[in-house]
Amino acid sequence: MSNLRRRLKRLVIFLLFFVIFIYLNNTSIFSNDRDRGHLLLAHRGMTQTFTMEDIKWDTCTAERIYEPEHPYLENTLPSIQAAFDQGADVVEFDIKRTEDDQFAVFHDATLECRTDQKGEPTEYTMSELKQLDIGYGYTADDGQTYPFRGKGVGLMPSLTEVLSQFQERIC
């Protein structure tokens, strides 16, 4: 019986130290910047909202937007500016390498979801990507209408353009 007690005591001590470790590892009490408050992160700038039901990593969110409430398309200079204007502290955006070794600010691995072209961004030069309509695939009614078709031509920025335009915001 004493062997069982010893094991139980060791288990309780282990669990206690484990809980203390988890707490200390996740607390902000040791952070130097605790008084700064929360930061507002804008995911891809000012974006169209969409349903999260049954979403997966490769779901085309442009095909599941709600009725548009603003004119902005994600990962564009206007949407990033709008996010900052609305109080965002940080804007997260996505980049893809282009055929001419530049970086396009674009979310998807392929172009079919949002644009009027097929393939991967790596198969196009930055100049070619800038000619695409990145609003082409957005629909709020299962493809009956496309409210952003023709409005996204030339809006895919390069990483250089984003960094240049928002230089004062770069951490």
Which tens digits make up the pLDDT trace of 140-153? 999 999 999 999 99
Q: Which of 16-30, 55-69, 110-124 has the highest mean pLDDT?
A: 110-124
Give residue 24's pLDDT: 82
Question: Mean per-residue pLDDT for 140-168?
Answer: 95
DSSP 119: S
Give yes or no for residue 77 having a pLDDT over 90: yes
Give residue 35's pLDDT: 59
pLDDT > 90 fraction of the chain, expressed in percent and rounded:
67
Task: Write down the pTM of the prediction.
Answer: 0.76
Mean pLDDT of all residues in the chain? 91
**Among the residues of 76-158, which ranges form H helices?**
77-85, 126-129
Of 27-36, 60-69, 92-101, 153-162, give the lowest mean pLDDT range. Answer: 27-36
Query: How far apart (Å, rounded) are the C-alpha atoms in residues 5 and 11?
Result: 10
- Least Cα distance to 77 among 169, 155, 135, 152 occurs for 155
Give yes or no for residue 126 having a pLDDT over 90: yes
Phi, psi angles (nearest 5°) of residue 51 = -75, 140
Token digits of residue 38: 């929360």
Give yes or no for residue 58 having a pLDDT over 90: no
* 105-123 confidence digits (pLDDT tens): 999 999 999 999 999 999 9
Cβ–Cβ under 8 Å, residues 98 and 125: yes
Give yes or no for residue 34 having a pLDDT over 70: no
